[in-house]
Amino acid sequence: MYSALLFLLVLGTGACSKGGGGGTKTNTGNQPSVKVSDVTQARQTQASSFRFYIDLTVASQQAVTVGYVTSDGTAKAGVDYTAALGTITIPAGQTEVYVDVPVSGDSLRQANQTFYFTLNAVTGAVLGTAKATGTILNTDLLYLPTDTTGYTTPASYPGYHLAWSDEFNGNALSTGDWNYEQGGTGWGNAELENYTNRTQNVFVSAGHLVIEARQESYGGNNYTSGRLTTQGKQQFTYGRIDIRAKLPVAKGMWPALWMLGTDISTVPWPGCGETDIMELIGSSPGQVTGSLHWLQQGGAEGTYNHNYDLSAGDFSQQFHVFSIIWQKDSVQFLVDDQAYVNGGASVVTSGTYPFNSPFFFIFNVAVGGNWPGPPDNTTVFPQRMFVDYVRVFQQ
């Protein structure tokens, strides 16, 4: 913990101070009013200080003394900050002093926290704003552990070799493997989010990729989230693909782990083919869907899919493994090694079968859209998808 020492500094005339408090004025005879100002500041990974400014409305011809004390809100003394109790003097002719309250370092992404700084026992002035709030901003920090229980799959299979994987064990996303797609144009599905490349929405922590959807105003949208692709960096034809993930399941959420044909720039969707390894609609928290999409003869979209339903619980409670076994003319979908979709050339009865060509990955968490509909008052943000690993095995 940071030392309990409080830094007390009296600012003289002309010294630097926060805006509006540094000038010297003549007291007209009435007692000045004393106030304290709120402090809002991001928590640092190392110990830091919150500086509470104490101001007089006008300078006094005599020294003014002010007592102060801190108290807990959601932030707790001895854990999140060091309790402060004392008295400070504003010298005659001055209008501002400050008290530094130590705040402990941390890197845990969690809800913002508050504590209070209250003035009391004033002599030579009257109390104005006597209570200030210290708000510790934690929501952009980059450590977010999660319960790792759930289904897992082996790191090798007989007859296969590991062609590529990302275990997300570093401190940042590998830009050698992944691209950030950005923007808030609806993405063809009337989605409501703006996808960003910020660590607020996409980060790597404790061995997991985290894609976080937030309710916030950004770029003309009311939500933000993340959408990643391996386009131009990692592409594959055939093999077994395992993705271990834990999903957001609230109303209006639409997490997806999917693939598109690498020829999409010359063969527009759906002609390039789309393989949805997993999609979940938040209003059905215990159900995922595996799908194939292609272009039918005559120009309509072709779809073949099935749902997988958990026997109990939902997909946010534990990790599950979403897989495909992809061979020439065949794509089989599995959840926790249980096959539930057997697709392939036999189901593409109209149009050209696109699934014998290279595909790249897309991982995203959409907010709203034509399929899930918008969030409602039951949807609590942030919502997060955790990905433990993605592994591609080939023969």
pLDDT at residue number 40: 98
Domain spanning 7-137 has what CATH number? 2.60.40.2030
- Is the bond into 154 cis (omega within 30 degrees of 0)? no
Q: Are 309 and 285 in contact (CB under 8 A)?
A: no
pLDDT at 178 over 80: yes
- For residue 279, indicate whether it is catalytic: yes
- pLDDT tens digits, 145-159: 999 999 999 999 999
Check pLDDT > 90 for residue 351: yes
Q: Is there a catalytic annotation at residue 96?
A: no
Q: Does residue 213 register a pLDDT over 90?
A: yes
Residue-by-residue DSSP string for 325-357: EEETTEEEEEETTEEEEEEEGGG--SS---TTS
| Per-residue pLDDT, 13 | 32
Q: Which CATH architecture has domain 161-394?
A: Sandwich (2.60)
Dist CA 247 CA 245 (whole Å): 6
Catalytic: which of 96, 191, 193, 279?
A: 279
Q: Would you kindly state where each structural domain of the chain is located, as residue ranges? A: 7-137, 161-394
- Judge if pTM exceeds 0.75: yes
Q: What is the 3-state secondary structure (H, E, C) of 123-168?
A: ECCEECCCEEEEEEECCCCCECCCCCCECCCCCCCCCCEEEEEECC
3, pLDDT greater than 60: no
Task: Indicate if the pLDDT at residue 15 is higher than 70.
Answer: no
161-394 and 7-137 share a CATH fold: no
Residue 84 host element (H or E)? none
| Statement: residue 5 has pLDDT above 70 | no
Average pLDDT, the chain: 93
pLDDT in tens, 100-116: 999 999 999 999 999 99
The label of the residue with tokens 């004033």 reads 122
Q: CB under 8 Å to 29, separation ≥6 — which residues?
A: none
